[in-house]
Structure 1
């Protein structure tokens, strides 16, 4: 029993990154983007038509590799640039004020002389002339406000991982930058229409459906800012 507590303390301290080593990168050979590039899928019918022998005598073709060709990302494995420029602010304020008062009285001063007979048997000071005297009063007030300001400006290269039957493109973008012992991570996923991609092969975040944007990091600084595992367990289990 005396060895259990030291063991737990040692294990909790070793749960973070290795001592004296920076946080490792995620393996790129297992990424979804690499799998999409290795398996681009079937060729597009439009591209096949553009490379037919009938266009061999023309100086200008519509192929993607030509000078006038459309080089926007449209196929599985293609790369496009996602522009993230978030500058949102929200402010909500609510107030509530409510009050209520009520008064009830009941008395039997005269009823065939019955109240007078009852008064003789009642304790001193009690009288049936005022049986019930009820007063109630309640009030409630509340104020609430929410204020949020968010600003984020980023650019990231994303890869088309799938082309849905309706032509919508599924994109995934992952980026990692390591400075000393801190690793910054940026992840973007969502669905994009081909017509929303500009001629510069870019798409803004507000045109991405089901957008999931994650900006964070891991390393020594991020680890210090988080409470230890034991403290998190106590906060979730203690009722006070």
Structure 2
């Protein structure tokens, strides 16, 4: 009874995926629902009641967590700004050439005293004095070059999802922007030292350890720019 149930679940999942793909092709890609990063606990934020407004002559600012406390992110759930400013260029060129030739000859004049019998069994061209002879040659040449330039300048708000034993912060952030039928996605994650967070509660991507930055999209433009799946598979697994 489990096999038909499993098959039904697979068919249902495939049908839902197909419907989602058809809906995206007709209506364009949809934004993902807003939510906390998966590593953040608790999953739902508990909102505190709004504090009463201070008087006009008070030094207390409404909504402030503390009067003398540093407002930079330091605890799980705090938000900080990550500045992504990438301007990299790379240019390399390699050339490889290989050539090899081999020649091997060996004679077998006696084979356990059966050389005369071998002459009767084997064709008349058999010559015991030239029993083994091999030769071969191989040539290979290849060249490659890389000329790449990347420039990205973005700002994204990230959430502290964890605090390491030494005090370093694990931050993650994501952002989606939809323009017509194209969704641009930006995700960033990494480990930040509290000392590297500026007084404006910002940190540069170059100060993040284990940084993982992704900037891409999904929609009509991305789909047209991508090669077909069959072509990608043939290029990846073709032995030629």
Question: Paired residue for 2:30?
Answer: 24
Structure 1 unaligned spans of 5+? 1-7, 41-62, 109-114
In the TM superposition, what is the alpha-carbon distance from 1:152 to its structure 2 partner?
Answer: 2.2
Local SS of the residue matching 2:158: strand
Describe the shift of the 1:107–1:146 C-alpha distance in structure 2 as closer, same or farther (beyond 3 A): same
Contact 2:190 2:209 in 1 (8 A): yes
Local SS of the residue matching 2:27: coil
Structure 2 unaligned spans of 5+? 1-13, 48-63, 110-114
Question: Paired residue for 1:56?
Answer: none
Question: Paired residue for 2:102?
Answer: 101
1:171 aligns with 2:171: yes
C-alpha distance in 1, partners of 2:233/2:137? 36
1:44-193 mapped onto 2 (5 Å cutoff): 70-88=70-88, 89=90, 91=92, 93-104=94-105, 106=107, 131-132=130-131, 134=133, 136-147=135-146, 149=148, 150-193=150-193
Local SS of the residue matching 1:138: strand
C-alpha distance in 1, partners of 2:208/2:233? 38
C-alpha distance in 1, partners of 2:233/2:136? 40
In the TM superposition, what is the alpha-carbon distance from 1:70 to its structure 2 partner?
Answer: 3.5
Contact 2:105 2:130 in 1 (8 A): no
Describe the shift of the 1:84–1:234 C-alpha distance in structure 2 as closer, same or farther (beyond 3 A): closer
In the TM superposition, what is the alpha-carbon distance from 1:94 to its structure 2 partner?
Answer: 4.7
Describe the shift of the 1:224–1:104 C-alpha distance in structure 2 as closer, same or farther (beyond 3 A): closer
1:38 aligns with 2:39: no
In the TM superposition, what is the alpha-carbon distance from 1:17 to its structure 2 partner?
Answer: 3.6
Describe the shift of the 1:194–1:127 C-alpha distance in structure 2 as closer, same or farther (beyond 3 A): closer
C-alpha distance in 2, partners of 1:19/1:133? 67
C-alpha distance in 2, partners of 1:37/1:194? 25
Aligned pairs, number: 195
Local SS of the residue matching 1:156: strand
C-alpha distance in 1, partners of 2:128/2:175? 85
Local SS of the residue matching 1:38: coil
Cα-Cα RMSD? 4.5
Describe the shift of the 1:193–1:69 C-alpha distance in structure 2 as closer, same or farther (beyond 3 A): same
Describe the shift of the 1:129–1:190 C-alpha distance in structure 2 as closer, same or farther (beyond 3 A): closer
